[in-house]
């Protein structure tokens, strides 16, 4: 069982991560990155290696991939241009919404909570993905990794998102899949639940300091209803 302060009944809003929380985008990353590497005459990379690199923004992802294949840092500009072109061309084509995500969003909305999507993915990637997967209608606002001066795990994006929602951090729940989300939430003063799937930089998510864990967004949403099942510790 997990306990939030303030009580669940006083939550006013929920901030939800995108990659690894709502949508499994590893397929999109693998296709785009390998097409990028092909453009640069560099060797391909396996999806399993990419998975541990996801979560800190596209710039960090590309830098990590280039280092993994032994490319010099000077290749970044060409890689970034190629990656953007390929990712935008296939955005969402090789991605899938996680089971329970849409049901969870409906449950949260029906509970009267304000919803925001906060991701380290660039905004021009995030918005079309949410639209293509039928998720955009649920959110009052969407902020990408380029929306603020700093990205998660810095608390600034959560604090700014709370301001946009008009809710105090202590009454705004963060739902994510990684230590980035948890660290940002803790520093911002938000309670946090993590999904047991997702990426989390290749590390076990249950080792992360969080208020609870859930196997689906629907399970997490149900735990917020009075008398609902609690997210597991």
181 is in an annotated binding site: no
Structure tokens at 230: 């609690």
DSSP collapsed to 3 states, the chain: CCCCCCCHHHCCEEEECCECCCEECHHHHHHHHHHHHHHCCCCCCCHHHHHCCCCCCHHHHHHHHHHHCCCCHHHHHHHHHHHHHHHHHHCCCCCEECCCHHHHHHHHHHCCCEEEEECCCCHHHHHHHHHHCCCHHHCCEEECCCCCCCCCCCCHHHHHHHHHHCCCHHHEEEEECCHHHHHHHHHHCCCEEEECCCCHHHCCHHHCCCCEEECCHHHHHHHCCCCCCCCEC
77 is in an annotated binding site: no
β-sheet bridge partners, residue 24:
96
| Active-site residue flag, 215 | no
17 is in an annotated binding site: yes
Catalytic residue set: 17
Annotated binding site for Mg(2+): 17, 19, 177
């Amino acid at each position: 069982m997990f306990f939030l302060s303030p009580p669940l009944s006083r939550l006013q809003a929920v901030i939800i991560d995108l990659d690894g929380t709502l949508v499994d985008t590893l397929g999109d990353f693998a296709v785009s990155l390998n097409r990028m590497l092909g453009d640069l005459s560099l060797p391909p990379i396996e999806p399993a290696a990419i998975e541990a690199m996801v979560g800190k923004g596209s710039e960090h992802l590309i830098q990590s991939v280039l280092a993994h294949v032994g490319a010099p840092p000077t290749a970044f500009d060409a890689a970034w241009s190629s990656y953007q072109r390929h990712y935008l061309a296939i955005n969402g084509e090789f991605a899938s919404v996680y089971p329970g995500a849409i049901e969870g969003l409906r449950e949260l909305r029906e509970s009267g909570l304000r919803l925001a999507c906060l991701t380290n993915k660039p905004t021009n990637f995030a918005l079309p993905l949410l639209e293509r997967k039928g998720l955009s209608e649920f959110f009052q606002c969407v902020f990408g990794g380029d929306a603020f001066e700093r990205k998660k795990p810095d608390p600034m994006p959560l604090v700014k998102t709370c301001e946009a929602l008009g809710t105090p951090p202590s009454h705004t729940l963060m739902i994510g899949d990684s230590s980035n989300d948890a660290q940002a939430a803790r520093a911002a003063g938000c309670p946090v639940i993590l999904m047991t799937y997702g990426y989390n930089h290749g590390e076990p998510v249950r080792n992360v300091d969080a208020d609870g864990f859930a196997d689906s967004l629907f399970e997490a949403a149900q735990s917020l209803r009075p008398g609902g099942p609690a997210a597991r510790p």
